[in-house]
Amino acid sequence: MLYICRMNLLFPPLSNLVKLFEGQYAQIAADRKAILEQLAAYVRQKTIEQKPALLNFICTHNSRRSHLSQLWAQAAAFHYDVKNVQCYSGGTEATAFNPRAVKAMREVGFQLTDADASANPKYEVRFAEAALAVIAFSKTYGDSFNPSAGFAAIMTCSHADENCPIVIGAEKRISLPFDDPKDFDDTDLESAKYHERVLEIGKEICFAFSLL
C-alpha cells in the first residue's frame, strides 16, 4: 500500500507513531480488519453523500476505551485528510475520563489541558497545531453534546455491546471491542497495559482511516 505524504501534520510524537503503525497494518488480524473496513465504508459513504460522518464511540462508563477511540479517530481523520468527520464518545452511564487513560494519552503525544476541576472534568485535547481542540468529558451516549441521529455507534466494549442492543438515533452500529485496561488498575502492569491499549486502539483506528 502506498502512503501519501500530507500537509496535515500531527504533533511529532503522534506523527512518528502513525508511521510506526503504518508498518504494522499487515499484522492486524483479518477479523479485526473486516470490522475496521465497515467503519471506513461508513465514512466513505457519507463522503459520497456529501454529509458529515458522525462517529460516536461507546463504552459502558465513557471513561477509557471510548475516549481513546474518539481522540485517535479525530486525529486519524486529520492526518489522512478525511474531511467532515466529527468524533464523539459516550457511555450507558457517565463517570469521568479516567486519569490513567488521560496520562497514557499524554505520554504518547496528545496534549490534554484540564478545563475545570470537577468530579467529571472537561479536557481540551489537541493533536496538531492546525486542528481545533476536542472537548473530552464523560457523558451518556445520548447527551445533548453528542449527535441525536444520523450517526454510527461504534461499540468499544463488549459489556455495552451486549447490554445496549439498541442505540437510539444510530443509523449504523459497529462492534469494535477492546480489552479493558481497567483490569490492571493498581497493579505493577497498570502503566504498561494502558500504553498497550492506547497503541492498539491507535493502530486499528488509523488503519481504518488509511483506507480512505
Within 8 A by CB and 6+ apart from 6, the residues are: 79, 80, 81
Parallel, antiparallel, or unpaired for β 53-58 and 123-126? Answer: unpaired
Parallel, antiparallel, or unpaired for β 151-155 and 53-58? Answer: parallel
- pLDDT tens digits for 120-178? 999 999 999 999 999 999 999 999 999 999 999 999 998 887 777 789 999 999 999 99
**How many Cβ atoms from other residues are within 10 Å of residue 181's Cβ?**
25
pTM greater than 0.85 (yes/no): yes
Looking from the CA of 160 toward its CB, the CA atoms found within 13 Å total 32
User: Hey, what domains does the chain have and what are their CATH numbers?
Assistant: 31-210 (3.40.50.2300)
Q: What is the largest CA-CA distance in the chain?
A: 49
Q: By C-alpha distance, which of 141, 146, 157 is closest to 86?
A: 146
- The cell numbers describing 37, all together, are 473496513
Q: By C-alpha distance, which of 204, 176, 191, 157 is closest to 17?
A: 204
Q: What is the DSSP letter of 91?
A: B
**Looking at residue 3, what is its pLDDT?**
44
**Res. 4 pLDDT band, cuts 50 70 90:** very low
CA distances from 100 to 76, 103, 104, 125, 148 (A): 22, 5, 6, 15, 29
- pLDDT tens digits for 170-209? 999 999 999 999 999 999 999 999 999 999 999 999 999 9
